[in-house]
Chains A and B, each alone.
Chain A
């Protein structure tokens, strides 16, 4: 996109001087141009044509406008100077700006050897060959347009008030406290420090933080130049800066790649703090964050990371119009699911329970609503999510396959605002605002269903009288305690209720809260301390059979403490070290009779607790500008604590009732079993050039908790279980090799990653074992090995009217559960494909902006059908034809293919309005393809029949209405 501007001419001035009559001023602010030139030029082009028709010769206007700017004489010789450098030079030395669309601007160099030359001549000489026209206005704005020239002036009465009666939304936000000075607009003077403290001192130091006014994120690499003294500093990775200046008046000019340049006048009286709230430069015009710098995959040693901002997913079409970040994650390479409606997902051929979801440090154990159809995260409050698929950062442990880290937005520290939406299934509302302006803020997001009306259309009295409800609430409080301390308090709650009339009731809840304290030391070092607690409970009332009706509740508690230091001990080293401790409490629950007539026995399945503690240290060493190495160790110790009655089986024999020799009792907090394990990470990045790198990583992790679920698609009533006396921790190794490239001026991002994974002690459920009522789960489970490998290709386009990504993955995932004992084998001890092994997967997601108000987007999803077990023979038993199954997952269901489409219509672009709204129309599975969820055989009245079940066998249309306070750009 457009490079940074270094101007001695502020945008504020630009805007203030503009008048309504001047189309260039109205339609083109610098910001506007730099971000979405194409649409602007489209407008301009249309206007030019219009003018032409009206008999106003636009060329005449442009040509006759012999402004002094284009007559500038350049008293210099240039030889093969890159165009962009030339622009910078000219802009630095003369009061002109260049406006052009960088996306498709030709790449060339400027050369001339005359000692003085007129700028217009230079431009024309170099640009006409590319069919680029040069136009300019009286303000020194030079417009370079392809194939058409721009008229920069209009008759003053050209627009009647009805066409543009209101001030068009302008992207630059001029603070009200800006006042006009002779040449520039700068704000009222800000006083830093106070006179008393500054007595007898010549100079004073200002420290502060550069913060994005919208995202509230710290801005790295912003340049702060004092125009008076010429001194300058650049903000660090945390957005901090420090500058020492003489007391007195200063004018700061702050600029950076993605922010709007700003000038402020300062009266420095003593040491003090000044936070710089800066406006985003690009975000306002396009919904995709252009983050070439921030998420540069080429740099750094991190691999297997996909980072997606919710702005990126804003327009992705989704089922029932619900923006769903988990569904978006499934469009990323290496992410698969057994089928629509399965809870969770599978990353790089690993089981669902090897993923952990953190939302602002709070782990969420059930991430779906309505058993897998919707994710439990309200996209309105989510800022971005990162999916770590390999080389998981050392501060995370305990899950082998992936960490899904969700960062929510923090409340707006400047003003109160609200947003929300209504779709066919849910309604949403998010409110945010300052508690104390610029210091602290709150954000509350609520989402709830009102989907019961759908059920009324169903004839079946059971379903008609049933209901399903869900809702979730997020609160986030952010406090800037002082310049070095930041506190964040977050909470999450979600609840699901399903009541199947006269049969059963379910409800489950996630609840969690976290507190995060961040402290920045002076020398770019920082410390973060977080405490989080998360709970999950599942309650079930089953009244299917009156005499066997029961209530069962089970719950899980996860309390986690984490302390991390991030320091830069020497040049080129970044170190991270800390501790991380998690206490798990699992209450497997009690079965109690539901009614007086129920004969169900009161059964307590017991509780368990375990403490996973870890100490870790990591160093990233920039060996030379081309080579970065990162390595770290994490020592985990897992203690499984009493009170517990532990089944002891004969050594080396299968865990079956017959081999049970003793039951040992352990008291409260007595360690039943301890497992120690060393995790390690090693990664290396070799930069081939600025835009291409190769990386390799190897890591090992340990996992001490697993899911008990015996269904193919994970059903919502799964339970969690800790590694214990009889079940060993799961160990995972992964080796990854990758190639990364930023192509064509960062417009495209290409990555190719290949991985090999080996997991030991993966828990599988024995064939046909009962997981309900089971007090001895070790008798129902086996442990085996998982082998997975794959290669992922990902091409991403981040800028332009067309954005999106396409990826292809080839992968394999195989389980092996073998043992000398036949009863401890699955599939006779032969390897079998895992349920989510889908060798070929292709995803495409694309968004095209026709204009700022209209865009369409589409997903194309293809994958090989999942493996399935078909019967291998048939026999008659008891007069009934009976199927016999033998080789597990030897067949596959038909391939999956789906196309979704959505159209987004934004409300008008008026600047001054109370609220802005968006309509989104989407169609999920527009081809109506009946994708198989499963294929099954059934005996009925002596006949064997086979059926194909599809979940979404027809296109699903949905309309969603979203609104927010403020205008199009409001965040």
Chain B
């Protein structure tokens, strides 16, 4: 339970503040064994949403150098209790996907996964039922404060999102939330000129013969959609009514760049099995509670896959059977009083920079973008400002290079 989990943490905060002057947290990297456990990791789910469904296989690795190590050449099969099954295709190394029009999650049926590695080891999960989803009743947002627990953190003001559900049919219902966030962001400068390898007419302020762009805003406004990297789960086990009522989800501080323009979240509420909930809850607890005075002993959290020949072999990650519903989309914007710092993007008007950016541009980095900056004319203060071509790093001009797309989602205007 969230309440219980926070309890100890709060008590710790309390004590820590009682001794505010003395307790302290500092970054410290202990010496760790270089030999990491190399366990099979599975990540994927089948849902009642239309496919295709993706399953990734990888190997756990050393903490000192965390990179995902994909596991290729495995046979991954999703099987239902009606005898249907589908072998997934490896689309990218370690990424296995069902086909379009392939197996489909149907409420009431049970599903399991079978993984056969190319070293011959076979892993399988137990059947889990795809339960009836529970409707999201409401998603809310409130301004709130998040207080620092340690001196490494700051008190932060921001948005706290909450979710409420409709009443579930089953008294013991277990929820798992995925939050998809979408935010708008802008490049700092318009792309006014570009160098595409060719030379065009030069003007007074464009002596390099750069091409002039037609639609200067094309790559200026972007929208990025991603999953919030936080896990949320909830159980109604100890409630007298199986309903989620204003469960706090994620918090985003106003200072966060994502709130500079507009921000939106879409809550996906999944109903999962008790085992899956326990797994999720343990992961969250283990990550969240370590900073407290009264922490529990960390331990290995295994998922639902087992080596069919050796049940002692640990397998990490969980193959979820989850039925989901989407909540209402929430759009929001930081309050007007919040001021954002200028970005680090610099417009460089030096002739040398521009010259080199043209001369040294290799074909694969083309086109090179330029903007125009305006200077007050010191000789004639009353006259028009001077327009000067400036070189700007590409990431500061082409918003798509920062992960988003320059296509406005249809739900964006509000």
Contact = CB atoms under 8 A, between A and B. Distances in A.
A869 B297 contact: yes
Given A460-B147, A503-B6, A546 B246 contact: yes
B18 interface: yes
Interface string B283-298: 1011100110111111
A370 B14 CA distance: 10
B296 to A, nearest CB: 5
A814 interface: no
A661 to B, nearest CB: 21
A880 B230 contact: yes
B87 interface: no
Contacts of A884: 37, 39, 60, 300-301, 314, 316
Contacts of A944: 63, 66
B231 interface: yes
B120 to A, nearest CB: 22
Nearest to B299: A767
Given A600-B240, A768-B299, A886 B37 contact: yes
A248 interface: no
Interface string B353-383: 0000000000000000000000000000000
Given A550-B3, A877-B317, A949-B25, A545 B10 contact: no
A877 B43 contact: yes
A773 B1 contact: yes
Interface in A474-520: 498, 500, 503-504, 506
A647 B290 CA distance: 34
B43 A715 contact: no
Contacts of A458: 17, 20
A885 interface: yes
A712 B30 contact: no
A50 B290 CA distance: 67
B249 interface: no
B408 interface: no
B23 A873 contact: no
Interface in B301-351: 301, 311-312, 314, 316-318
B147 A715 contact: no
B107 interface: no
Contacts of B246: 545-547
Contacts of A941: 229
Nearest to B311: A822
Given A462-B147, A715-B8, A874-B61, A935 B28 contact: yes
B245 interface: yes
Contacts of B316: 875, 877, 882, 884
A932 B30 CA distance: 12
Interface in B1-52: 1-4, 6-8, 10-11, 13-15, 17-30, 32-33, 36-39, 41, 43
Contacts of B386: none
B243 interface: yes
Contact of A454 (B11, B18, B287, B299): B18
Interface string A654-690: 0000000000000000000000000000000000000
A313 B71 CA distance: 63
Nearest to A939: B287
B20 A937 contact: no
Contact of B26 (A540, A715, A882, A948): A948
A951 B2 contact: no
B355 to A, nearest CB: 39
Given A544-B2, A875-B317, A717 B291 contact: no
B62 interface: yes
Contacts of A728: none
A956 interface: yes
In the complex, which range does the number of interface residues on chain A fall in?
35 or more
B91 interface: no
Interface in B209-255: 227, 229-231, 236-241, 243, 245-248
A933 B25 CA distance: 10
A466, A875, A951: residue with the most chain B Cβ atoms closer than 10 Å: A875
Interface string B75-90: 0000000000000000
B15 A373 contact: yes
A399 interface: no
Given A545-B248, A880-B230, A947-B28, A938 B3 contact: no
A768 B293 contact: no
Contacts of B28: 932, 935, 946-948
A870 interface: yes
A871 interface: yes
Contacts of B229: 878-880, 941-942
B238 A600 contact: yes
B351 to A, nearest CB: 40
Contacts of A876: 41, 43, 58, 68
Contact of B24 (A540, A710, A930): A930
B92 interface: no
B312 A768 contact: no
Nearest to B40: A875
Nearest to A452: B18
Given A545-B248, A873-B61, A937-B290, A460 B24 contact: no
Contacts of B27: 945-948
A715 B15 CA distance: 12
B257 interface: no
A872 B33 contact: yes
Q: Is the interface of A mostly helix, strand, loop or mixed?
A: mixed
Contacts of B295: 711-713, 934, 936
B150 to A, nearest CB: 8
A457 interface: yes
Contacts of B10: 500, 503-504, 544
A540 B248 CA distance: 22
Contacts of A877: 41, 43, 283, 316-318
Contacts of A891: 30, 32
A871 B298 contact: yes
Contacts of B17: 455, 458, 460, 463
Given A454-B18, A498-B11, A828 B33 contact: no
Contact of A888 (B150, B152, B299): B299
Contacts of B23: 949-953
Contacts of A540: 7
B18 A938 contact: no
A462, A879, A949: residue with the most chain B Cβ atoms closer than 10 Å: A949
A597 B246 CA distance: 11
A874 B14 contact: no
Nearest to A499: B14
Contact of A947 (B26, B38, B68): B26
B143 interface: no
B126 interface: no
A946 B287 contact: no
Interface string A854-881: 0000000000000001111111111111
Contacts of B169: none
B18, B32, B68: residue with the most chain A Cβ atoms closer than 10 Å: B18
A458 B229 CA distance: 32
Given A549-B3, A873-B63, A947-B291, A886 B41 contact: no
Interface of B: 1-4, 6-8, 10-11, 13-15, 17-30, 32-33, 36-39, 41, 43, 58-63, 66, 68, 145, 147-148, 150, 152, 155, 178, 227, 229-231, 236-241, 243, 245-248, 278, 282-283, 285-287, 290-291, 293-301, 311-312, 314, 316-318
5 contacts: A460-B17, A600-B239, A883-B287, A948-B27, A951-B293
Given A716-B11, A941-B229, 19 more contacts: A461-B145, A462-B13, A544-B6, A547-B245, A599-B236, A768-B299, A773-B1, A871-B63, A873-B39, A874-B62, A882-B316, A883-B286, A888-B299, A936-B295, A942-B229, A947-B152, A950-B25, A954-B21, A954-B22
Q: Which 10 A-B pairs have the closest CB atoms?
A: A936-B290, A715-B294, A948-B28, A767-B299, A547-B245, A953-B24, A873-B60, A711-B294, A875-B60, A885-B298
